[in-house]
Structures are given as C-alpha cells and as structure tokens.
Amino acid sequence: MGDLSQASVAAFELLLSGDTDIWEIISLSFGVSFSAILIATPIALVIAFFLAFFQFPLRRTLIALFNTFMSVPAVIIGLTLYLVLSRSGPLGDLKLLFTAQAMVIGQIMLSFPLLVAMAHAAFQAADRRAWETAITLGAKPWRAFFTLMYEVRFGLIAAVVAGFGRVVAEIGCSMMVGGNILHATRNIPTAIALETSKGEFAQGIALGIVLLVLSLTLNAGVSIFQGKGESHS
C-alpha cells in the first residue's frame, strides 16, 4: 500500500514537472488518435448518411457488416495490418510497419465501423423532412447534407467522441504495428504496459491518470451529447 501511494505521488510529480518523456508519449498518443479520427470521420459520415437515406442493393448487408466489425478485437486488426505491412506482405514496400502512420491506419480501421454504426443511428433517427425541406428550398445535395448533419449534430458528436475514446485507449493494434518504440511509436497504453512490466509504476500510474481522466471525460461527453440529441428531437 505504501509503495502504491509513493508511486502515485511520484506519478503526479512526473506529470506536474513536465517530464519530457511522459508528455512526448501523451502528445504522440493524442496526435495519432486525432489524425485517425480526422481521416475516418468524413468518410464514415458520408457512408452512414447513404446507408440511412438511400435504398440500394446490399445496403442491409453493409449495415450488418459495420455492426459486426465494431466487435473485432483491436489485436486482430493489428495482426491483419501487421501481415499486410510486414516486409513480405502486399504493402511491405511502403515500409510503414513500426511507424506512427501504421498506428494511424490501424486506428482508422478500428474506429471506422464504430463511427459508421453510430452516425448511421444518428442519421436514421433524423427527421426525413429535414432533408426534403432543404432540397425543396433549393439546397444542393451537399448543402442539404451539411444541414442534416447540423440537425443531428449531437448524435454525430457523440459518435466522434466514442470513436476517439475507442482508439486512444486501445493497446493491441498500436503494440503490433507501432512496436512501442520510444520517441517514435510509444503511446499511452503501450507505455503503461511496458512501464508496469518493468516495475516502473510511477510512470505507468501517471499515464494511467491521463488515460482515466480522458476516458471519463469522453464518456461523460458522449452521455451529454446523446442526452442533448434526445431532448432536441
């Protein structure tokens, strides 16, 4: 118990002292996850909109696929991506394995089904009159799409926040395709795993605090936005 409290105090000291290694890990973690969400979100929103508003062959199959892929474990995505990016893999020539870019790709794959499924649910719940009204008032389809996004913004923000929460805390994929290399691909979850295995609890706890605060904040954010969405509809 004494060790734990000592480690916790040391963890706070590390965070507050501006320890370069710690803050570099935090910054890489956020950078990778923000990039992944930034790239995945626009495509996911367009797909979700089409799935919710238009009828086309295989639509139901696609919805089922996205819902199913939400539950694929991060480590399986990591393994698949590792095989694709490894030297003997089909994209081995790109030399992306054990880079931050590979981690971004992995996190895009991880967040994409969740973003599509949650955004689809938000668009599905949208009032179809909003789309028809925008079109009948002369809006071009892209403007009507942005209008509709604004009308269901709380559901969409909740989707993005949930997507970010999913990727920023995952370890399996980042460990496999990033390799947990200091100053290059070490992010919060992989660093926690490493420091704990070395018995360096202070750094592990410090990063754990950041991740915990972030996760709680994100979950609270999702609840607030979903609640706002419900009260608006």
Partner 1 sequence: MNPLISYSDISITMSGKLIFSIDKLEVPAHQCTLLTGRNGSGKTTLFKIMAGLLKPDTTKIHYQGLDMTWSQGKPYIQKDIIYLHQQPYLFDASVTDNIAYGLHRSGENKASIHKKVMQALEWADLSHLAHRSAKQLSGGEKQRVALTRARILSPRLLLLDEPTASMDTQAKQQTGLLLQRLKFEGISIMISSHETHTVEHLADQHWQLEQGQLNVLKKSPVTDNVTHLNAAKQKN
CA R_g for the chain: 20
State which residue, 12 or 150, has the beta carbon closest to partner 1: 150
CA distance 71 to 24: 30
Beta carbon of residue 141, minimum distance to partner 1 (angstroms, whole number): 11
> Residue 170, interface with partner 1 (CB under 8 A)?
no
Cα dihedral sign, 213-215-219-222: positive
State which residue, 124 or 147, has the beta carbon closest to partner 1: 147
CA distance 154 to 112: 18
State which of positions 114-153 bind partner 1 (CB under 8 A). 127, 129-130, 132-140, 143, 147, 150-151
CA distance 202 to 14: 8
State which residue, 151 or 170, has the beta carbon closest to partner 1: 151
Pseudo-torsion of CA 187, 115, 221, 13, nearest 10°? 0
> Residue 57, interface with partner 1 (CB under 8 A)?
no
State which residue, 21 or 132, has the beta carbon closest to partner 1: 132
> Residue 230, interface with partner 1 (CB under 8 A)?
no
Contact residues for partner 1, defined by CB under 8 A: 127, 129-130, 132-140, 143, 147, 150-151, 232
